[in-house]
Structure 1
Amino acid sequence: MEIPRRKLLDVLNRIDLFADISAGDKERLLVPRHIVKVFPQSDSLIQAGDSDDNFYILLAGKAGIYKAGQRVAEVTPGDFVGEMGFICGEPRTATVTADMDVIAMCLDNKAFAGLPSGLREKIKDRLIGALVKRVDSLNRQLAQYKAGA
């Protein structure tokens, strides 16, 4: 399924991860056409135990994150998954399955390295900021759990 470039740019404009990225950089981000993938409902974006370096940013749709067969989280447009495999090269710790048709931007280390350095830095900075927020949220949840136990 081919998604018109203009529509992809409109979607990128609504994603927080790309908020500070110029229109020209967004255009450059979409140069390799294989960077945007469509996952039909029930297809897996990521399979627990696999080793790859793909990092996904959901542009449309919704997916569930499963550990040991249990749904533990949901991702929606603007969310990203696979960052630990992308950054650390570790095997996948969860399975991510499309709840409905999902359109996602897929970056691997090779595609990421091919981006202009300024764009790579902006994406890395946004990714690090989002990870810091995620760790902070998990720490708060843990503190609440310990306080209630």
Structure 2
Amino acid sequence: MKRSSQVSVSKIIQLMKKIPIFDAFTSEDRAQMAEHAQIYIANTDEAIIERDAKDNCFYILLSGEARVLLRQKDVSPLATIEPGDMFGEIGFALGTPRSTWVLANQLSALLRVDHKLLDALDHALKGKVKDQIILKMANTISALNSR
């Protein structure tokens, strides 16, 4: 997976406007985040997250599609990730090794969020990002409990 330096701040802001996670963000919030954003491009079948790897980031899929697998060679995915979905937040929050593989189903653009990015944001915006992580984790727990 490669970092793209060819995506302009205005294009990142435009993409963020289409993602529900950023609905609670003001135009200024999105602009501040886009200034420090790292956009990555994953090719078809390329690993975005590798099981057992330790990483300090999570991702928001901006375009494309990805699949979640327990083992890299599995045929049936555990889940499909679509634009707007956040993933990898548990490893980010807890500092634990990744529990699954995430592979791109097609050419995909991702916003990578790490501690460096969060540290560059003002306190209020950092809180909004953390609120979105908490909301995502709570929804995941709720979905698991209802099964």
TM-score by length of 1: 0.88
CA distance in 2, matches of 1:52, 1:134: 20
Give the C-alpha shift of residue 112 in structure 1. Answer: 1.4
Runs of 4+ in 1 over 3 A off after TM superposition: none
Please list the CA deviations of residues 68-115 of structure 1 after superposition, one character each: whole Å capped at 9, or x if unmatched: 343211101110111011100000000100000111110111221221
Please list the CA deviations of residues 29-85 of structure 1 after superposition, one character each: whole Å capped at 9, or x if unmatched: 01135x111111111110001011111001111000010343211101110111011
Which residue of structure 2 lines up, in the alignment, with residue 19 of structure 1? 23
Please list the CA deviations of residues 92-144 of structure 1 after superposition, one character each: whole Å capped at 9, or x if unmatched: 00010000011111011122122111111011112211211111111111xxx
Any stretches of 5+ residues in structure 1 without a counterpart? 142-149
Does the 8 Å contact 1:58/1:75 carry over to 2?
Answer: yes
Which residue of structure 1 lines up, in the alignment, with residue 79 of structure 2? 73
Does the 8 Å contact 1:63/1:98 carry over to 2?
Answer: yes
**Is 2:79 aligned against 1:39?**
no
Flag the structure with larger Rg. 1
TM-score by length of 2: 0.89
**Is 2:62 aligned against 1:49?**
no
Aligned residues, how many? Answer: 140
Which residue of structure 2 lines up, in the alignment, with residue 28 of structure 1? 32
Equivalent residues in 2 for 1:76-115 (5 A)? 76-115=82-121
CA RMSD of aligned residues (A): 1.3
Does the 8 Å contact 1:17/1:127 carry over to 2?
Answer: no
Which residue of structure 2 lines up, in the alignment, with residue 146 of structure 1? none
Higher helix share: 1
CA distance in 2, matches of 1:42, 1:4: 26
Secondary structure of the equivalent of 1:31? Answer: helix
CA distance in 2, matches of 1:48, 1:60: 22
